[in-house]
Structure formats: C-alpha cells, structure tokens
Amino acid sequence: MADLRINLAGIQSPNPFWLASAPPTNSGYQVQRAFEAGWGGAVWKTLGDPILNVSSRFAAVSFNGQKVAGFNNIELITDRPLEVNLKEIYETKKKFPNHAIIASLMVEPKQEKWHEIVKRVEDVGVDGLELNFGCPHGMAERGMGAASGQVPELVQKQTYWVKEVAKTPVIVKLTPNITDITVTAEAAVQGGADAISMINTINSLAAVDINTWDTVPHVGGKGAHGGYCGPAVKPIALHMVGECARNPRINVPISGIGGISNWQNAVEFMLMGATGVQVCTAAMHHGFRIVEDMIEGLNNYLDGKRISSISELVGKSVQKYSDWGDLDLNYKIVARINNDTCINCNKCHIACEDTSHQCIDMLKDDSGKAYLKVREEDCVGCNLCSIVCPVDGAIDMVEVKSGLPPMTWNERQAALGVLACGVDPVAK
C-alpha cells in the first residue's frame, strides 16, 4: 500500500484526513472516537472566551432528493471553559500520541490575548495552532473571526503576534467572504504563517419557511446569517485553493477545506495543491466511520496509479490551472450523440435549442425512426448537452483538429498590438 502519511509544515499525521474545527471536535470524547475510527488528525473546536450558543443552530439544503447538499449553521466557538478543553486535549494527545491535534484559536485582536492563549494551549501538548480568521457569524460582530480575516493588515499583525511566542507550527484559516483570498493569504505569509487552511464557511441564509415566514433556522421567530458548507461549496473552495497554490508569494503548505465528502474529493484538493484535507459536514451527515472508505479508496487509487507516497500527488494539477487569457482559442471539441445508447428523451435538444446554440437536429431515418444529430460545424463544445443527458455514454465530447496553431487571447492581443505598430508579427 502507498504511504499515506503527511507532513504539513512540521505537523505529522498518519493520513491526510483531519476533522475540521467544528461540532465533531467539540470534546475529548468525540476526538478520541474519531481517532479510533481512523482519522489522522483533528482541529479542536475553536477555543477562546466561552460563549453562549442559541437554539436552534443548524439548517440544511437538500436538492433533487439529495439530503444535505449544503449545510448552514449559526453555532459559535466553544461554549465550554478553556480549562476543560485543555484537560481533554492533554488526555487525548497522551492516549493518541501519533495523531495530530491542532488547536483552533480565536481571541480579540490584542497582542497580550494571543500570547496568553498560545502559551496555555501549547503547554498541553498540541501539535500545531490554527488561527480562526474565518468564522462569518456571531464572532465577526464582536470584531473577531471574519471581521479580522477580511482585513489583510489584521491578518498579518495577529499572525505575527502568535509567531512571537508559538513553538509549534501556525496555520492561518482564511475566510472566503472576501473579493480575493490571495490577498489575505499573502498577508498571513508575511506575518510568518507556517501554513494556511481554507475555506471557512460562506455567509448564507439557508431558507425561509413560506408557511410561517420564519427564517431557517430561527430562534424564537428571528434569524441571522450563518456559515454555509457541505458539498455545494466544494467548487468555490477548490478554486480558492488553486489560486493560492499557484501564487508564488504564497509559498506555504495548504490544508484544504470545503465540501470534501469522499476520497475522490480529497484527491482533487491535493492535486490542486493541498497537502492534506479537513472534513466536517460529511462526518456530521454520516458519522466518523466514513474515514474508512476514504482511506481505502485513496490507497486503491494510489496503488492503481503506481504512486508510492501521497506527497507525489500534491500540486500535480496546479500547472494546468491558469487564467482565461492563457487558454487556446483554437482548441475545439464537439458533441457526438451515440444513437445506440440514446433513449430519445430529447433533453439535449431542448437544452441546446432553448439555451445554447441550436445545433442538435431532430431527424428521422429511412424507416421513420427518430434520432438526434449534432451539426458539428455549429457546435461550440459548451458541454451543456452532455451535462443534461441522463444516460452515461450517450453523448461524447470529442476533440476536432482545427489545423490552426495554438493561440491564446493574450497572444492575440499582443499580435494585434504589434500589427497596429506596422510590424508583421510573423516576420518578427
């Protein structure tokens, strides 16, 4: 079997699957159960001055029969005394010395507050620290969480304060509720962060009950925005991980978070630059033992690829992730319908006719049997027909050689600029 061990900025873990800082890591009992199930590490539910939580707290978005396609919560950081958490961290680390325990921290943006909590937490034997600059609700209204995480200067300054006293690796957890996450990622690196993690939850309101007109969830008839996570946010998280991984000024390891529900998702995040991953919603939906399938699936995948170590996987797709202006304008694919497989539901025709490029014709053969055919000269290769098709293999997207050399938008604009100056770009 492949070697699944990871080293994230000096934090050792028997596998890349960690539980994220959230309800599943609220207590020593839970974290120990998770380690027994096979999780490689856990980021303890965020520590700070204990708060009062409300009831109710969670909501979920289901779609087309899939439960918990998205998950929303208005729960805050730990509501248990710091001393109790520290005692349980110490006991858990003593019982599971080879598993990674990372303390998630959130305090006011004051140097002395950060120094105090870092020293107390490191005294009980944690393997690393994660600074929570991402929580978008409740704590942000108090000047912490995303309120700090949206200000690059505060991210840099607070990271620096922690690094002044920290003896263990420092991970900075970033908020996605910002225009460009690379700005705050760079600020974290400038402050001395050993690694970054992303994404925290996204500002959201899960739903409104159209019968009672209450928000979902509501607390005595009133609601507030919460944090959104789960499978629905995976594309957003994957994009942000990729943006940071390809930025040369963000030269620290990444812990990937956001909608990771199975080993395939984990592979995607690692290919896009994450050294390891953190999971929350999937564990809340299915329980801790989902990690067994994750470990087995990742092992089989690596063996099938003849990859001996998980480190060989990290970042392999980053070079393929670029800007739109670097894409080949002369690359062309078209849709081809396999009539032996097609069930003539006509969804592709409807989608193309109503919302795309009207290039799928409804025809009849000599016997009068109806069939669909793509006019390839008019097809732009948008993929819509294959996306809406309910039958695997009924529509293939096939590359068509154009006979033209590769040409990107940036190259085209540069060539046009040269022509405007009266110079032949080919001769030049």
Do residues 272 and 318 lie in contact, with contact meaning Cβ atoms separated by under 8 Å?
yes
> What pLDDT, on a 0 to 100 scale, did the predictor assign at position 72?
93
Nearest to 58 by CA among 22, 26, 92, 87: 22
> What pLDDT, on a 0 to 100 scale, did the predictor assign at position 421?
63
Q: Rounded mean pLDDT of 211-218?
A: 95
With both helix axes pointing from N to C terminus, report the angle between 82-95 and 111-122 in degrees, rounded to the nearest 10.
40
Do residues 31 and 101 lie in contact, with contact meaning Cβ atoms separated by under 8 Å?
yes
Question: End-to-end CA distance of the chain, in Å?
Answer: 54
Q: pTM score, two decimals?
A: 0.93
How far apart (Å, rounded) are the C-alpha atoms in residues 275 and 221?
43
Domains (ranges, CATH) in the chain? 6-316 (3.20.20.70), 324-399 (3.30.70.20)
Give 116-163 pLDDT, tens digit per residue. Answer: 999 999 999 999 999 999 776 656 666 677 778 899 999 999 999 999
Q: Rounded mean pLDDT of 222-250?
A: 95
Looking at the DSSP bridge assignments, the partners of residue 92 are none
> What pLDDT, on a 0 to 100 scale, did the predictor assign at position 242?
98
Do residues 398 and 336 lie in contact, with contact meaning Cβ atoms separated by under 8 Å?
yes
Return the active site residues: 135
Q: Rounded mean pLDDT of 214-242?
A: 94
Do residues 59 and 7 lie in contact, with contact meaning Cβ atoms separated by under 8 Å?
no
Do residues 215 and 223 lie in contact, with contact meaning Cβ atoms separated by under 8 Å?
yes
Task: Tell me the residue type at 76.
Answer: L
pLDDT interval class at 1 (50, 70, 90)? confident
Q: Rounded mean pLDDT of 357-372?
A: 95
Q: Which residue has the higher pLDDT, 50 or 62?
A: 62
pLDDT at 427 over 60: no
> What pLDDT, on a 0 to 100 scale, did the predictor assign at position 104?
97
**Residue 406 neighbours by CB under 8 Å, 6+ apart:** 328, 330, 331
Q: What percent of the chain has pLDDT over 90?
A: 86
